[in-house]
Amino acid sequence: MPLSRLAGHVTPVLLAAEGVLAESALAPAMLLESADLLRALPWGVGLLAASAVALGLWSRRSPGGAGSSGEPGEGRPAVPSGDLLRRNRELEALAAVAATIARGADLATTANETLGIACSLAGVQSGAVHRLDSRSQTLVLVAQRGLTPEEADVLRQRPVVGSFLGRAVLTGAVDVTSLEATPPAEPRLRELARHRGHRMQVAVPIPVKDEVWGVLSLVAGEAREVPGGEVEILKSVARQVGVALERATLLEEAAARHQRLESLARLGLQLTATLSLGEVAEATTRAVVEIVAGAAARLWLIEEGRLVVRAEAGVRNPESLGLPTTLDLGEGLPGLVARTREAAVTEDIAGDPRLVNIPWLLSEGFVAEACVPLVARERLLGVLAIFSRLPGQLGASEVDMLGVFASHAATAIENARLFAEAQQRAAEYRALFEVGRLIGSTLHVEQVLDMIAERCRALMGVRAAGIFRMDETQGGLVYDRGAGLSPEFIRGLRIRPGEGTTGRAFAQGVPIWSADLFADPAISLDEANRALVAREGYRATLSVPIVIKGRPHGALAVYWWEPHVPTAAETEVLSALAAQAAIALDNARLFEAAEMRAARLLILARLGQVVSSSLDTDEVLGAIAHAAAELMSTPAVLLWVADEAARTVELRAFSDPGLAADFTVLRVSFDEGAVGWVATHRQPFQAPDIFADHRFIGREWWQAHGLRSFLAVPVLHEGVLLGVLALHGREPFTLGPDEGDLLDSFVAQAAAAIRNARLHAETRRRLEETRALLEVSEILNSPLKPRQLLKQACITIARVCQVDRCTIERWEGDRVVPLMSQFADGRKDPAQWAAFASMASYPPREVPAHALAIETRRPVVIQDAEHTDLIPREWVETYGHKSWLCVPLIRRDEVIGVLNLDNCEREGGFAPWQADLAMAVAGQLALAIENAELAEQTRARLEDLSVLHELSRAVTGQLDQAGLLDAVRQQVARVLNVSHVLILLHDETRDEMEAVLRVRDGIRIDGEPRWYPARGAGLTSVIMATGSPVRTDDYAGECARRGVAALMGVVGRPHWLGAPMTAGDRVLGVLALGSPERPFTE
């Protein structure tokens, strides 16, 4: 309470001055507290003025000190005593300090002015005022007088412990030190004192509220004793100086607080004036630097669970740009504050273990760091870090004030964040709306994919984006769209499922990201893709799957050219766009499928019209091949028709005539090639590369036309193989469900078409067969002579069966009788007919083809006569057979001959219908031959009856045996045209047969009678025993077969006919005829 103390010093003087002022008037002033200093200042100034007046009066009226009572003007002026002079000097000093207080200067000015008063009071030129910093236990220079710059620099900060000034602080008493007797311990300070001639230093503690605020130090050039009175004066002055400095400090703090409050208000307005998060962050750090003079600030925000630097201000060292920009919660002082949500301060930059980046902090000159949490709506947003370069700058009040500011900043940051999120959401919704509107307005997937790629780049602020699809043919994910990427990269990149972020997103069905691809051990890339990515230059990527109706289709990816950790919002946006891409792709797929289905239905409808309106097999099959090639998008479709009986397939339709021009494989067996494999196994067959499959033939044609893939399916109808539909392509065939259904429909159409065409062809063939049969029947039933009839029949049969030649053979046992052979055009070839008539015949069963016909009763077809062992080689060489068809002539389940059809000029073999028609014709021909033979037999029987009648007439009147036998000889020779006749009569007595007539070579042989055994000799004995006639063309062989001995006279005549001569039931004898050349008929 300096004013009370001032009054306490002045009171005795005033009392001695005859009670100018009553003691009671001082009572209120003595109760004043320092807090009332401002209100008491006018009263104190008046008091000091009154004191000065009293002293002046006292000095004029009282020449002799206290208690003098001289009159005015009497004697010499009074000389004040030593005590009074000391008191006077003290009052003058106090009056000067009071005047300083009244002016209300700032701390530095007050300290400087009060120091000047003290120096004047003590009569010295040099002095200083130091302020005690209790936290650092140092004395900080506040004001100085008479010190050189070098001295001021040395004395700018002095330790409390170990210094003369600090001793005054520690003792709380005035410290008078002789610098000669006790020089300073510090060499530099000691040298300065010696150089300046300082001999003595007085250090007076400056009390404020019963505590040492600082030290007032005075330095004199001469050493002397300091009496107690002067010490008291200095202590009084120090107390008043303390009051003045306290008031100045309070005023300065009040002004600073007021300024800070104004700054807070202004900065709060600035923070709320913008909704840009970046601007708010920058404004926050600038405001901290403005509030805390000379300080620096860094703003850390919580992002993805980590602290990230978003703004800084007041940093001098540009190396701060290389500092870590992220911290984990609990890491460093900001991380600790983020975890605890409580402010923290440290003034030990070098030794605090909670700090990170200490070298940088020391290089910036920071002596303290404070961190306050940024919390809005109970949500931690980040941490505000303040770095001070001045000791004591981050006290409790400053930290509290920064806490208030931090709450304003947190609100502004939260608002900016919400606004940014709202803007981002709005942009996302606009983008999604635009994409959705485009999806709803167009079904062209290219436009939608282009927009999605561009919206990805715009919304996420990235340089590039890409849309992938899975391409099974290339074995990986390929770009459907790429924006911001080089064409070489787009063409070259092939990502396998599970590879990179895109492959993993596709395989796992979740978003996958990498902040730095080449530093991420969890992301694998093969060497080729790694090289492509390195050349492209991007570092970070985020990929999300594109899923269509639960099935992975591809992926959507964005790229950064610097390390980047994607945020949850970025992942959400990209996922939303991926969902839109999925919708667009699905819509486009459905639209394309609908269009394709409509086109396919149209083509199938046209194909159905062709199938239903045309019964021409080749036309229908050609339409099917063309439609299949068009709808399956393949260069060539071949339709093969099967012949299960022959186990072959024949090429009947080709979709591209240009490709068909040099296709030479027109017919293959079931055992040849891939088509034969399909026909044999009746299963689909696919080959991605025919050059790697040994089953394919004609590979030169494939290579010449750039074809390499193959797909074939069997054409079946009710389990019957009708053909094979084969597709030839340049790329492997990949059939989805729709393509599979389409192919099935083609196969069904082909089956129906082939079946209908076959039925039509069969009906037409049967009609033609009927006409042919009628035509042949007319010929066979015409009244032509047999030879003419057979000739005309052969020509007709060859023509209706569409062959070059027709040949008819009659078999009589093992004897082959060539009846007729004619060309279809009726031309003659005498040389071949001569060869036909003269060539030695083969017994039927010695010719394999004939033997097979006898066994099977079916036609035997030889498609290539040049390479067969079913017919003799000499036939092929003599008659020029190229293909040959043998049809058995069957009558009463007996093969009586063959109808041979052959081609000697036409290329190609026989069709089934030809064999069927030939079989039908052969039936009629066999009947005709039988009828002709029956007619001939009837004619012969009639002739026989006529002969018998004539013979009966000739012998009726003959009773002479010789005449009778002669008549018989003549009639038999005439009618039967034979030259060997034998008549034997049985003699029952001798049981032998007598030759009563023998004719050899037409001459009757007479002479002694000849007898023949009736039992076991010759075929005549067989006739006698059986009573049945015997005919043979091998007399000796027939005798051996029947177990009788051959008669020597008959062996030379193999053709033999014998008949019994009967009377009732009795066999009287045998009539036998023989011929060496002409066989006898039935």
| Residue 237 pLDDT | 76
Residue where the block lists tokens 């019964």: 615
- Determine what percent of the chain is predicted with pLDDT higher than 90: 16
**Token pair recorded at residue 37:** 């200093």
| pLDDT given at position 570 | 84
Q: Residue 333: pLDDT above 90?
A: yes
- Which pLDDT tens digit goes with each residue over 663-681? 888 889 998 889 999 999 9
Cβ atoms of 577 and 462 closer than 8 Å: no
Does the domain spanning 274-422 belong to CATH 3.90.1200.10? no
What pLDDT sits at residue 27? 29
Contact 227, 86 (CB under 8 A): no
Given a cut of 60, whether residue 44 has pLDDT beyond it is: no
Structure confidence by residue, pLDDT tens digits, 694-711: 888 888 898 888 898 999
Residue 101's identity, in one-letter code, is I
- Per-residue pLDDT for 497 more than 90? yes
Q: Where in the chain is the domain with CATH 3.30.450.40?
A: 274-422, 442-588, 614-764, 796-938, 957-1075
Question: Of 271 and 138, which is predicted with more confidence?
Answer: 138
User: Is 506 exposed, middle or buried, given 0-12, 13-18 or 19+ CB atoms closer than 10 A?
Assistant: buried
**From CA 485, how far away is CA 463, in angstroms rounded?**
8
Give DSSP secondary structure letters for 351-399.
T-TT-S-HHHHHHTT--EEEEEEEEETTEEEEEEEEEESSTT-S-HHHH
Burial of 1004 (0-12, 13-18, 19+ CB in 10 A): middle
Q: Sorting pLDDT into bands at 50, 70 and 90, what band is 510?
A: very high
| 267 token code pair | 């900065």
- Residue environment code for 687-725, b if the CB has 16+ CB neighbours within 10 A, otherwise e: bbebeeeeebbeeebbeebebbbbbbbbbbbeeebbbbb
In terms of Cβ atoms closer than 10 Å to its own Cβ (0-12, 13-18, 19+), residue 183 is middle
4: CB partners within 8 A, 6+ apart: 29, 30, 31, 32
Three-state DSSP at 1072 gives: strand
pLDDT, tens digit, for every residue of 961-1007? 677 777 777 767 666 667 788 888 888 888 888 888 888 877 888 77
> Residues 616-649: pLDDT tens digits?
777 878 888 888 888 778 899 998 998 887 889 9
**Residue that has been written with the tokens 């991007």 in this structure:** 538
> To the nearest whole number, what is the mean pLDDT of the chain?
79
HSE of 772 in the Cβ direction (CA atoms, 13 Å)?
28
Higher pLDDT residue, 269 or 230? Answer: 230
Pick the most confident of 5-19, 308-322, 392-406: 392-406
CB 405 within 8 A of CB 370: no
Alpha carbon 413 to chain centroid, angstroms: 42
Query: Rg for the chain (alpha carbons), in Å?
Result: 70
Predicted local distance difference test score (pLDDT) of residue 331: 92
CA-CA-CA-CA torsion sign (497, 501, 504, 505): negative
Question: What's the CATH architecture for 442-588?
Answer: 2-Layer Sandwich (3.30)
Find the mean pLDDT for residues 200-228: 85
- What pLDDT was estimated at residue 319? 58
In one-letter notation, the amino acid at residue 918 is A
Q: pLDDT tens digits, residue range 432-474?
A: 666 666 665 566 777 778 878 887 888 788 999 999 999 887 8
Mind listing the pLDDT tens digit for each residue in 771-810? 777 777 776 666 667 777 788 888 888 888 889 999 988 8
Residue 762's pLDDT is what? 75
Terminal CA-to-CA distance of the chain, rounded, Å? 176
Q: Which CATH superfamily is domain 614-764 in?
A: GAF domain (3.30.450.40)
Q: What pLDDT score was predicted for residue 103?
A: 59
Whether residue 799 contacts residue 824, with contact meaning beta carbons closer than 8 Å, is answered with: yes
pLDDT exceeds 50 at position 35? no
Flag whether pLDDT at 1082 surpasses 70. no
**Residue 77 or residue 17, greater confidence:** 77
This model's pTM is above 0.75: no
Confidence at residue 452, expressed as pLDDT on a 0 to 100 scale: 80
pLDDT band at 532 (very low <50, low <70, confident <90, very high): very high
pLDDT one-digit tens code per residue, 248-292: 677 766 766 666 666 666 656 655 656 677 888 888 888 888 878
Report whether pLDDT(1) > 70: no
At 116 the pLDDT is 83
Of the pLDDT bands very low, low, confident and very high (cuts 50, 70, 90), residue 66 is very low
Q: Please give the structure tokens belonging to residue 261.
A: 């409050």
Question: Which residues, at least 6 apart from 1026, have a Cβ–Cβ distance to it below 8 Å?
Answer: none
pLDDT top residue among 347 and 757: 347
The answer to whether the CB of 909 falls within 8 A of the CB of 915 is no
**For residue 735, is pLDDT > 80?**
no
Band the pLDDT of 26: cuts 50, 70, 90. Answer: very low
pLDDT at residue 52, as a whole number: 39
Contact at 8 Å (CB) between 676 and 640?
Answer: no
SS3 (DSSP) at 982: strand
pLDDT of residue 80 exceeding 90: no
Confidence of residue 77 (pLDDT cuts 50, 70, 90): very low
| Alpha carbon distance 519, 565 (integer Å) | 13
Enter the CATH code of domain 957-1075.
Answer: 3.30.450.40
Q: Is the pLDDT reported for residue 561 higher than 90?
A: yes
Strand order in the sheet with 476-483: 476-483, 464-471, 551-560, 540-548, 512-514
Taking residue 1062's Cβ as centre, other Cβ atoms within 10 Å add up to: 11
Class of CATH domain 796-938: alpha beta
Say if residues 233 and 202 touch (Cβ distance below 8 Å): no
Model confidence pLDDT, tens digit, residues 354-372: 998 888 888 888 999 999 9
Q: What is the mean pLDDT of residues 35-46?
A: 38
